[in-house]
Chain A
Amino acid sequence: MDLETKLAILADAAKYDASCASSGAPKRSAAPGKGMGSTTGMGICHSYTPDGRCVSLLKILLTNFCLYDCLYCINRRSSDIPRARFSAQEVVDLTLYFYRRNYIEGLFLSSGIIRNADYTMEQLVEVARTLREEHEFRGYIHLKTIPEASPELVEAAGRYADRLSVNIELPTREALTTLAPEKSDVSIKRAMGEIRLKLDEKADGGATAPRFSPAGQSTQLIVGADDSSDASIIETADTLYRSYKLRRIYYSAFSPIQRASARLPNRAPPLMREHRLYQADWLMRYYEFSVGELAQSMPGGKLDLSVDPKTTWALANRHQFPVDVNTADRHLLLRVPGLGVRVIDRIISSRRHRQLRYEDLKTLGATLKRARHFICTADYRPRQSDRSSDGLRRALIGAPEQQSLF
């Protein structure tokens, strides 16, 4: 099988992994005379595909042969798709071909499980080692970590990679037992815990401790393959963030796969639900919302798909509004729908110099369509503060969406 055919199969097999980030690595660059590559700390998206997602890394599987039969996975043992396997050298070559032409920031390598966890992990580590040691490659490397791989292999992976990830895939143990009978939530969490411990060791050990995955670890949760509620998903997410110090969790709307099991939904990927989960996740991480607060404003454990979760929360907590943008502290401003972190920074900086008026907020970049119902300024108070939350919600839905979300 030629390289191009393998690439087609093993890229297709990798596309259900939503992770694409190339951020978080320390700043570094290639030295004169040897090697190639750099990282700036910020990720770079080198291209975008018509699904609206970015292409930052060469995201491929080493092989899509797999011992496991996880029902949600296109690469499961019982799936009759074409199979292929790269040699380590082929992956190295592809990475360098692409990197040299400025197509990518680096490599994201994952794999089906072949023979056993250690054997599979060894193959992944070998690719990363070759790139780093033989080619002095300084670009970004993200390696998938196979649960139950030996600690030495995980340590080696962390030495070469910028980021490691173990995908938990399903939000509850019950779902995992039903859909991925050969996987165990315990071994997945254990693998995350092991990485967390090594990250802590590195953090405590400082410059003298051996390098370990400087961009931390991440994971992925599939949304819509099982019937877990949104509340249980964000609760799981909160637990994972708190327990394993994840840099981020990717939520991946379940895409129907060919010849799927009858136990899985054969419908379009729930993209709006995925989007709302990302928004809720952002609220927990950057907007000082607790998981309890968010869960409280989710009747039946479901996110309101027509309104963003911050607005949902605000509508359920009208007594906290309107917030005076000229005097409110940061924590309170973070709760106002239509005000993002950057706009809030500008408000706080700008109000030292002037009494903010309604028009000023436009200049500062606030989304007044939502914010205007929840703020007051030197010259403005919401007129319809007596309107019911329900009516306000409907009014907000009637307003056109800023982004097209699919």
Chain B
Amino acid sequence: MYSACVQEFTQWRDVARPLLSAGIAPEEMEWRVGRQFEPLISNGSAMPAAGPTSLRLSRQLIELLEAIGCYRHDGRWDLMYRLAWRTLRQPRLLEDAADPDVHHAMQMESAVNREVHKMHAFVRFREMADEHGEKKYYAWFEPGHDILRRGVAFFCKRFPNMEWMIATPDGAALWQNGELQFVETPDQATLPKADAHEGLWRTYYRNICNVSRINPPAMRREMPQRYWRNLPESVEIQTLLRDGQASFAQRQREATDMELAKARAMQRALADLPDHSGGPSACRRCDIWRHATQAVPGEGSTSATIMLVGEQPGDEEDLRGRPFVGPAGRVLDAALTTAGLERGELYITNAVKHFKWQPRGKRRLHQRPTTTEVAACNHWLDAEVSQVKPRIIVALGASALRALAGLTDSIESARRLQIPHASGAQIVCTYHPSAILRADPANAGQLRSRLVDDLRRARELAA
């Protein structure tokens, strides 16, 4: 066994070169984690000869390795060695982007290149005159990877006739008299705190933003929040978001149904609410909650292979807080027993978690949820599916089918289809038990036997 501890690409190269020439396999070499360079040592085996080597590595591979060397991850040196070792034996390895090592390497390379690009974009200089009145420019930047050296060449070409420093938590680059040096990180207190023209820049930023198009997720995707504290313009963001909200409210009133669910997601982003705040009972993704007692979550075995999905809780479920415990639940229980299924071994839930109703005399009469409401509630259904990971999902009725597969087919035709769910599970579609309650007595028997047949089919598919 061999081992070493390296901190940067050139050190890695010097350690790796003799090992590669000697044909030492990746499993024989341990790249230790540490903060200090430690040269190659061997544990029992002979040290590889240090002499000249005839290693030929392609330009493409070396560029890839240089990039990965900047990626902050303990496994980088090991992956680099493995890639080099394998490429020497399989020269066209890099063409195979589906190979796991190549895939990881490319992902790391693009993350590093992206970080370099963001450095070019987000470094902000502040001007400060020295004791002779000479203007100098200072920036404080916090990169996500070890890219200072890689990213700084750009600034040398762009600003050769200014004196500047880009300081990071891990060292600084200093450009003076046309020469670049790398120096220790200066005390942050010595860097300028403000700049005479930042006010103009903020004015520009505020006015170039079109608040009628407000879209904070797109902003955050390209300018993640971790950069904000070093960007002087970011102090304007909150005000612009508030202005945008007013304009957004207007837009929401005019949005089509299809856009509404997304619109709500946007609203949450604006309010900066955490996504899972308080579970379905605290959910305000649509307005049904206003008139319901409580959210009715699913129940049953979280390791179930079969999940049943109904439409929404009814009057009784709303009061009890449990699914399928009213009249329709009793029809379902009977059908399950006939089909040879144990309710306790299933997971049972609804597409919509709150009860939607309209008054009819003294009763609360079930009202069908709208597409928008079903879509808003999909969030919770998806969470349940990914927790339980069923193989078979039984869609009980049209609303469940719409929620699970986006289909609006009739149950009669949909129950003959093979429908995949986005999670990979298979959907079996059948009638909702309440359809049997509502059907006229002549048809009820037929519907009931179809429900049983479909449940039986689900049981067989899950077996």
Please tell me if the beta carbons of A406 and B159 are within 8 angstroms of each other in the complex: no
Complex contacts, B205 vs chain A, CB 8 Å = 47, 49, 55
Nearest CB in chain A to that of B247: its residue: A268
Please tell me if the beta carbons of B139 and A406 are within 8 angstroms of each other in the complex: no
Please tell me if the beta carbons of B219 and A49 are within 8 angstroms of each other in the complex: yes
Q: Which A residues between 62 and 99 are near B, CB-CB below 8 angstroms?
A: 94, 97-98
Let me know if A383 is at the binding interface, CB within 8 A: yes
Let me know if A341 is at the binding interface, CB within 8 A: no
Taken together as a complex, chains A and B put the C-alpha atoms of A233 and B209 apart, in Å, by: 26
Let me know if A24 is at the binding interface, CB within 8 A: no
Complex contacts, A58 vs chain B, CB 8 Å = 204
Please tell me if the beta carbons of B197 and A32 are within 8 angstroms of each other in the complex: no
Given contacts A29-B158, A404-B266, contact A46 B258 (CB under 8 A): no
Please tell me if the beta carbons of A97 and B215 are within 8 angstroms of each other in the complex: no
Chain B min CB distance to A220 (Å): 14
Please tell me if the beta carbons of B97 and A406 are within 8 angstroms of each other in the complex: no
Taken together as a complex, chains A and B put the C-alpha atoms of A97 and B124 apart, in Å, by: 12
Taken together as a complex, chains A and B put the C-alpha atoms of A29 and B117 apart, in Å, by: 17
Q: Which A residues between 283 and 312 are near B, CB-CB below 8 angstroms?
A: 305-306
Let me know if A229 is at the binding interface, CB within 8 A: no
Taken together as a complex, chains A and B put the C-alpha atoms of A30 and B195 apart, in Å, by: 24
One of B204, B217, B406 near A7 (C-beta < 8 A): B204
Please tell me if the beta carbons of B203 and A7 are within 8 angstroms of each other in the complex: yes
Complex contacts, A384 vs chain B, CB 8 Å = 417-420
Please tell me if the beta carbons of A50 and B407 are within 8 angstroms of each other in the complex: no
Complex contacts, B443 vs chain A, CB 8 Å = none
Number of A-B pairs whose CB atoms are under 8 Å? 228
Mark each residue of chain A from 375 to 406: 1 if its CB lies under 8 Å from any CB of chain B, else 0: 00000000110010001001111111100111
Let me know if A146 is at the binding interface, CB within 8 A: no
* Stretch in A34-42, A118-126, A153-161, A195-203 with 4+ CB within 8 Å of B: A34-42
Taken together as a complex, chains A and B put the C-alpha atoms of A112 and B99 apart, in Å, by: 56
Mark each residue of chain B from 105 to 120: 1 if its CB lies under 8 Å from any CB of chain A, else 0: 0000000000001001
Mark each residue of chain A from 1 to 39: 1 if its CB lies under 8 Å from any CB of chain B, else 0: 001100111011011100000000000011111111110
Complex contacts, A97 vs chain B, CB 8 Å = 197, 200
Complex contacts, B223 vs chain A, CB 8 Å = 47-48
One of A34, A353, A369 near B161 (C-beta < 8 A): A34
Complex contacts, B419 vs chain A, CB 8 Å = 384, 395
Please tell me if the beta carbons of A4 and B200 are within 8 angstroms of each other in the complex: yes
Taken together as a complex, chains A and B put the C-alpha atoms of A14 and B210 apart, in Å, by: 10
Chain B min CB distance to A10 (Å): 8
* Stretch in B77-85, B233-241, B299-307 with 4+ CB within 8 Å of A: B233-241
Please tell me if the beta carbons of A404 and B212 are within 8 angstroms of each other in the complex: no
Let me know if A316 is at the binding interface, CB within 8 A: no
Let me know if A256 is at the binding interface, CB within 8 A: yes
Given contacts A31-B160, A100-B162, A253-B213, contact A59 B201 (CB under 8 A): no
Let me know if A54 is at the binding interface, CB within 8 A: yes
Given contacts A350-B98, A363-B100, contact A50 B258 (CB under 8 A): no
Chain B min CB distance to A67 (Å): 24
One of B96, B213, B262 near A255 (C-beta < 8 A): B213
Number of interface residues of B (CB under 8 A): 83
Let me know if A349 is at the binding interface, CB within 8 A: yes
Nearest CB in chain B to that of A372: its residue: B420
One of B139, B254, B402, B422 near A268 (C-beta < 8 A): B254
Let me know if A102 is at the binding interface, CB within 8 A: yes
Q: Which B residues between 412 and 459 are near A, CB-CB below 8 angstroms?
A: 417-420, 422
Let me know if A272 is at the binding interface, CB within 8 A: yes
Let me know if B125 is at the binding interface, CB within 8 A: yes
Given contacts A55-B208, A268-B212, A404-B218, contact A101 B195 (CB under 8 A): yes
Please tell me if the beta carbons of B207 and A369 are within 8 angstroms of each other in the complex: no
Please tell me if the beta carbons of A54 and B209 are within 8 angstroms of each other in the complex: no
Taken together as a complex, chains A and B put the C-alpha atoms of A4 and B208 apart, in Å, by: 13
One of B159, B215, B402 near A52 (C-beta < 8 A): B215
Taken together as a complex, chains A and B put the C-alpha atoms of A11 and B121 apart, in Å, by: 21
Given contacts A50-B209, A102-B124, A404-B218, contact A37 B204 (CB under 8 A): no
Taken together as a complex, chains A and B put the C-alpha atoms of A377 and B157 apart, in Å, by: 48
Nearest CB in chain B to that of A98: its residue: B201
Please tell me if the beta carbons of B406 and A52 are within 8 angstroms of each other in the complex: no
Let me know if B50 is at the binding interface, CB within 8 A: no
One of B98, B122, B213 near A364 (C-beta < 8 A): B98
Please tell me if the beta carbons of A256 and B98 are within 8 angstroms of each other in the complex: no
Taken together as a complex, chains A and B put the C-alpha atoms of A384 and B429 apart, in Å, by: 15
Please tell me if the beta carbons of B241 and A50 are within 8 angstroms of each other in the complex: yes
Please tell me if the beta carbons of B259 and A272 are within 8 angstroms of each other in the complex: yes
Please tell me if the beta carbons of A52 and B254 are within 8 angstroms of each other in the complex: no
Please tell me if the beta carbons of A48 and B213 are within 8 angstroms of each other in the complex: no
Please tell me if the beta carbons of A11 and B137 are within 8 angstroms of each other in the complex: no
Please tell me if the beta carbons of B214 and A350 are within 8 angstroms of each other in the complex: no
Known: A15-B208, A50-B216. 4 other contacts (CB 8 A): A48-B223, A53-B210, A53-B218, A395-B405
A binding-site residues for B, Cβ under 8 Å: 3-4, 7-9, 11-12, 14-16, 29-38, 40, 44-55, 58-60, 94, 97-98, 100-103, 253, 255-256, 267-269, 271-272, 305-306, 346, 349-350, 352-354, 356, 360, 363-364, 369, 383-384, 387, 391, 394-401, 404-406
